[in-house]
Amino acid sequence: MVLTTTTTAALLCLAACASTSLAAAESPAQNSTYYNPILPGFHPDPSCIFVPERDNTFFCASSSFNAFPGIPIHASKDLQSWKLIGHVLNRREQLPRLAETNSGIWAPTLRFHDENFWLVTTLVDDDRPQADFSRWDNIIFKGKDPFDQGSWSNAVHFNFTGYDTEPFWDVDGKVYITGAHAWQVAPAIQQAEVDLDTGKVTEWQTIWNGTGGMAPEGPHLFRKDGFYYLLAAEGGTGLDHRVTMSRSKNINGPFESNPANPVLTNADTTNYFQTIGHADLFQDGNGNWWGVALSTRSGPEYINYPMGRETVMTPVSWPADEWPVFSPVKGKMSGWPMPPRASSQDLGGVGPFISENDQIDFAPGTSLPPHFTHWRFPPSPSTFTVSPPATPHTLRILPSNLNLTALNGNYAGPTGQSFVGRRQQDTLFTYRINLDFSPSALEEEAGVSALLTQNHHLDMGIVMLPASASTTSFLGSKQVTTTTTATDPSALIPQVRFRGISYVAVPAPIIAPLPAGWANQTLTLEIRASNVSHYAFSIWPAAARSEAQTVIVASNAPVSWGFTGVLLGVYCTSNGHNGTTPAYVSKWRYTGDEQFRD
């Protein structure tokens, strides 16, 4: 079954139907109905807290890998409408080496203690088979106010051969970091005492080996009823992913495994929500417990999941002295009563609500929207200019020498790539931009991409190539007749190019000359999820929709892989050549059309 949420209805609801949705809140005994994922799209490894001291607000952090700004924070007053309020990693100086690592930011843990927010995470180089653990960098950020992202500190580094690190404050005043020791070396949950302001750690001790699943990781400690409860993930982040738990009267262990493990998993089920694991727990204002976890909407086939690992939420019952019981994760959930529906005015913060569409016209005096995401740092402060004086209402992009693939092995080097995108957050969507681009030098290119990683992306752009490079004289169904298709096969002409790169099979490149009359026109480029498994790449002159051509309908399997989720965006590159022609992007639109939940 397919459930439809029209995002516009959700938005209208925020503003207008607060009163009707208060029904549930009026009788506090009434359980809530809500839908997973709560943070659709590339939002893995959630870590969430409830902070009564900050106006009863829920905050969630998620992993961002090479995305910059990184480590998004979403906030909510009602557990239903989530708003991007900023990013922990929002300035290059906080962590310059994000420019160089191949995997970027893994699993953060967000905590509030003693008037401060703390975010502990790992910057990772995990290239195989010889991962160099001396390059894994465990780091601490401290911030006073997540609504003011400038309040996050620069990274404080600490020494640990592992990842998934989290801070824990014990009742006796001691402070600990718990983390997952590198599973390639000696998989285990380890712990040390830490000075969070300096990063000084004591010797690491193994406190739990898990229940025998691959890669015990994602540890979170909770103190309750005289026990230390240790939550962990096992089985790897794929179809075997599961949440396990142990407890001890002593923070150093020994930790006794829960006989009911795993406490949460969809492994060996046919559920559409798979790979559930890497959970965190928090208690709402009524004292009810909730779990968040990552999940992949793929079904057990696990072939088409371009949105990657998303954030889901599930109610948890946790009676005194007993182990917590998680509800199984599905698309439609029933859970504890929720706080009254908050109106949008109740939250500060800069970003959009999670279900908002994009209608962005790059107006003069504005800047890039907060949910726009680069791949690592942009090459220079001038790479992206909103509304340059000569071309208002456009985004000017200067080309990077590197294209989206850049250097081998998912490294880019410090020079960076000219890309900006936003997350695919709906099963079916339409993403569309207008492009003004008049290339003149060989391999100058600008276009749209569904980008998962440097080694997994599907691109459609305008590129300057010799006439002889064409693979077809048709663009979609349209016979291409250009004035320039010359007699001279070496003459450079603007061509439409679709190409992809992935570890799984991608369609052969399509290169077709721009049809007569399209050169130097404003063109519309579109990526549309035409169904759950395919993207349609289309192009037409902005002034002549009737000329629209679908260049290819391509499977999204090549961008369904690994740890991240698809970013839909624009790029401009000289493909390693000397081109300098900028691209001008306007009328940026993203519309969520449908959300599949089972």
Ligand X SMILES: *[C@@H]1O[C@H](CO)[C@@H](O)[C@H](O)[C@H]1NC(C)=O
For residues 295 and 502, which CB has a smaller minimum distance to ligand X in the complex?
A: 502
CA distance 36 to 593: 16
Identified binder of ligand X from the candidate list 533, 542, 589, 596, rule CB under 6 A: 533
Q: Which stretch binds ligand X (CB under 6 A): 233-241, 366-374, 425-433, 530-538?
A: 530-538
Residue 213, strand partner residues:
none
CA distance 30 to 24: 6
Is residue 330 close enough to count as binding ligand X by CB under 6 A?
no
For residues 95 and 182, which CB has a smaller minimum distance to ligand X in the complex?
A: 182
CB of 178 to ligand X, least distance (A): 13
Identified binder of ligand X from the candidate list 6, 154, 209, 591, rule CB under 6 A: 209
Closest residue to ligand X, Cβ-based? Answer: 576
Q: Footprint of ligand X on residues 554-573 (CB under 6 A)?
A: none
Is residue 212 close enough to count as binding ligand X by CB under 6 A?
no
Is residue 520 close enough to count as binding ligand X by CB under 6 A?
yes
For residues 19 and 490, which CB has a smaller minimum distance to ligand X in the complex?
A: 490
Gyration radius of the chain over CA positions: 24
Question: Which two structure tokens, joined as six digits, stand for 108?
Answer: 């953060």
Q: Give me the phi and psi of 16, to 5 degrees please.
A: -110, -35
CA proximity to 47, closest of 162, 136, 166: 166
Identified binder of ligand X from the candidate list 54, 393, 478, 534, rule CB under 6 A: 534
Identified binder of ligand X from the candidate list 116, 257, 438, 522, rule CB under 6 A: 438
Any idea what DSSP says for residue 240? T
Identify the residue whose tokens are 């998303």.
310
Is residue 328 close enough to count as binding ligand X by CB under 6 A?
no
Is residue 336 close enough to count as binding ligand X by CB under 6 A?
yes
Give the dihedral sign, CA 586/427/67/499: negative
Is residue 550 close enough to count as binding ligand X by CB under 6 A?
no
Is residue 317 close enough to count as binding ligand X by CB under 6 A?
yes
Q: Which stretch binds ligand X (CB under 6 A): 202-210, 213-221, 262-270, 471-479?
A: 202-210
CB of 494 to ligand X, least distance (A): 8
Is residue 238 close enough to count as binding ligand X by CB under 6 A?
no
- C-alpha distance from residue 177 to each of 104, 144, 299 (Å): 20, 20, 35
For residues 10 and 24, which CB has a smaller minimum distance to ligand X in the complex?
A: 24
For residues 149 and 434, which CB has a smaller minimum distance to ligand X in the complex?
A: 434
Please provide the DSSP assignment of 4-45 as one string.
---HHHHHHHHHHTTTGGGHHHHSTTSPEEEES-SB-SS--S
Compute how many residues bind ligand X; rule: CB under 6 A.
32
Residue 53, SS3?
A: helix
Is residue 153 close enough to count as binding ligand X by CB under 6 A?
no
For residues 367 and 520, which CB has a smaller minimum distance to ligand X in the complex?
A: 520
For residues 188 and 567, which CB has a smaller minimum distance to ligand X in the complex?
A: 188
Q: What is the per-residue burial (b if ≥16 Cβ within 10 Å, else e) of 501-522?
A: bbeeebeeebbbbbbeebbebb
For residues 91 and 330, which CB has a smaller minimum distance to ligand X in the complex?
A: 330
Which sequence positions are flagged as catalytic?
Answer: 45, 217
Any idea what DSSP says for residue 552? E
CA distance 222 to 280: 10
Q: Order of strands across the sheet with 116-124? A: 104-113, 116-124, 137-143, 156-158
Q: Which stretch binds ligand X (CB under 6 A): 275-283, 351-359, 469-477, 525-533?
A: 525-533
CA distance 181 to 206: 9
Identified binder of ligand X from the candidate list 199, 236, 300, 335, rule CB under 6 A: 335
CB of 98 to ligand X, least distance (A): 20
Instruction: Report how far apart the first and last C-alpha atoms of the chain are (Å, whole number).
Output: 6
Residue 191, SS3?
A: strand
For residues 368 and 501, which CB has a smaller minimum distance to ligand X in the complex?
A: 501
Is residue 449 close enough to count as binding ligand X by CB under 6 A?
no
Is residue 584 close enough to count as binding ligand X by CB under 6 A?
no
Please give the biggest Cα pair distance in the chain: 84
Identified binder of ligand X from the candidate list 315, 349, 370, 379, rule CB under 6 A: 315
Is residue 404 close enough to count as binding ligand X by CB under 6 A?
yes
CB of 325 to ligand X, least distance (A): 8
Is residue 198 close enough to count as binding ligand X by CB under 6 A?
no
Burial class of 350 by CB neighbour count within 10 A (0 to 12, 13 to 18, 19+)? middle
Q: Which stretch binds ligand X (CB under 6 A): 75-83, 102-110, 348-356, 575-583?
A: 575-583
Q: Which stretch binds ligand X (CB under 6 A): 73-81, 148-156, 359-367, 399-407?
A: 399-407
- C-alpha distance from residue 447 to each of 171, 322, 426, 460 (Å): 55, 56, 21, 6
- C-alpha distance from residue 536 to each of 317, 533, 544 (Å): 44, 10, 19
CA distance 264 to 276: 7
CB of 76 to ligand X, least distance (A): 18
CB of 334 to ligand X, least distance (A): 6
Region class of 114: left (phi > 0), else alpha (psi between -120 and 50), else beta: left
Please provide the DSSP assignment of 325-351 as one string.
EEPPP-SEEEES--PPPPPGGG---SS
Kindly list the residues in this chain that would bind ligand X in the complex (CB under 6 A). Answer: 31, 159, 188, 206-209, 253, 315, 317, 327, 335-336, 403-405, 438, 440, 499, 501, 519-520, 530-534, 553, 575-578
